[in-house]
Amino acid sequence: MTLDQIAGAAYYASGRVNIGVVMGEGQAVLIDTGLDEGGVRKVLQAIEQAGARVVAVLNTHAHADHCGGNAFVRKRTGAPIYAPPVEAALVQSTQLEPFTLFGAAPFPDVDTKWLHAAPSPVDHLLEGSLELCGLTLEIIPTPGHSINQVGIATTDVAFLGDALVAPELLERYPIQYCYDVLAHRRTLASLPNLRQTWFVGAHFRPTRDLEGLVAANRRNLERTADAVLGTLSSPAGTEEVVAHTTEALGIFFMDPPAYLLNAAAVKAHLSAHVREGRIGFEIQDRRPIWRRLP
Ligand SMILES: [Zn+2]
């Protein structure tokens, strides 16, 4: 494993989930830790070989593939862990992710490691800016994909977590998980204002073409929003909306975790359509029903 330098003090370890590293003055900061100890173990070795010591872990958000290596890094290095407000509670109590997706105590089919990371303590909340490795790191609010996600930036490079994903993943997973479509839309509108010259995510490689990436992600979001609305030519129940939206977007197979993630994203779109006055929600014959408003 080698760390690839992006620009200045900013590096990343490429993988199924990219892990960011900022190094300076013999110190290193990890930006997210991947799904489990497998990936981050090699990153710790590479940092050690570079002669640096891990002094902090910064989590962009609490999804299992971003904080799952925290516990291992903590055990190995003792480094303090930082997470955004609200997300911090989920990093510490990782059973909340399958709980929030399923809505009750999960069972094994919906309690996989992709949804349920090893828990870890959180020592500090991630807000404003912080001084580490002799650098000022800027914390950029990017809520929407999750409840209170943040990006983390040096002067040259913004680490954007899951605020954006690579175009090829938008093709492979046509419905992107989203907690709050309206917040995510505002985040997408704000990202082009960033001053950095390089951008990297957990699921996209470093790029300078921020506007192109934002545009692809925005098209994906609006295509899903339109597909959800398109299922409501007549009033329909939640499960019908999920089934018809996934079918319309070419998703023909889902395992239980994929179903939960897609259903949650569809519900985020339903919520946004209600809040913007396009559809209404009622309980009819003991069933939840969504209907287009005139
Ligand atoms: Zn995520």
What's the pLDDT score for residue 196?
A: 98
> Are the C-beta atoms of residues 214 and 190 closer than 8 Å to each other?
no
Sheet of 198-201: strands edge to edge?
Answer: 129-132, 135-141, 150-153, 157-159, 198-201, 204-207
Nearest to residue 63, comparing CAs of 207, 137, 181, 162? 162
The pLDDT assigned to 2 comes to: 83
Sequence spans of domains, the chain: 4-219, 222-292
Residue 76's CB is within 10 A of a number of other CB atoms, namely 15
Query: 213-238 in b/e burial notation, b at 16+ Cβ within 10 A?
Result: bbebbbebbeebbebbbebbeeebeb
- Residue 1: the pLDDT is 74
Architecture field, domain 4-219: 4-Layer Sandwich (3.60)
**Ligand 1 centroid – CA 164 distance (Å):** 10
Tell me the DSSP string of 101-153.
HHSSS--GGG--TTT-PPP----EE--SEEEETTEEEEEEE-TTSSTT-EEEE
* pLDDT value, residue 293: 97
Q: Cα(245) to centroid of ligand 1, in Å? A: 21
What is the reported pTM?
0.96
Pairing of strands 150-153, 157-159: antiparallel
pLDDT of residue 70: 98
Distance CA 165, CA 202 (A): 8
The Å distance, Cα 161 to ligand 1 centre, comes to 7
Structure tokens at 24: 């300076």
How far, in Å, is the centroid of ligand 1 from the Cα of 282?
30
- Distance (angstroms) between ligand 1 centre and the Cα of 181 equals 14
Query: Could you tell me if 124 and 30 are in contact, meaning their C-beta atoms sit under 8 angstroms apart?
Result: no
Distance 114 CA to ligand 1 centre (A): 11
Distance in Å, CA 63 to ligand 1 centroid: 5
| 294 CA → ligand 1 middle, Å | 35
Domain 222-292, CATH number (from 1.20.1440.230, 1.10.10.10, 3.40.50.1360, 1.10.287.3510): 1.10.10.10
> What tens-digit pLDDT sequence spans the chain (294 residues)?
789 999 999 999 999 999 999 999 999 999 999 999 999 999 999 999 999 999 999 999 999 999 999 999 999 999 999 999 999 999 999 999 999 999 999 999 999 999 999 999 999 999 999 999 999 999 999 999 999 999 999 999 999 999 999 999 999 999 999 999 999 999 999 999 999 999 999 999 999 999 999 999 999 999 999 999 999 999 999 999 999 999 999 999 999 999 999 999 999 999 999 999 999 999 999 999 999 999
With 0-12 / 13-18 / 19 or more C-beta atoms within 10 angstroms meaning exposed / middle / buried, residue 112 is middle
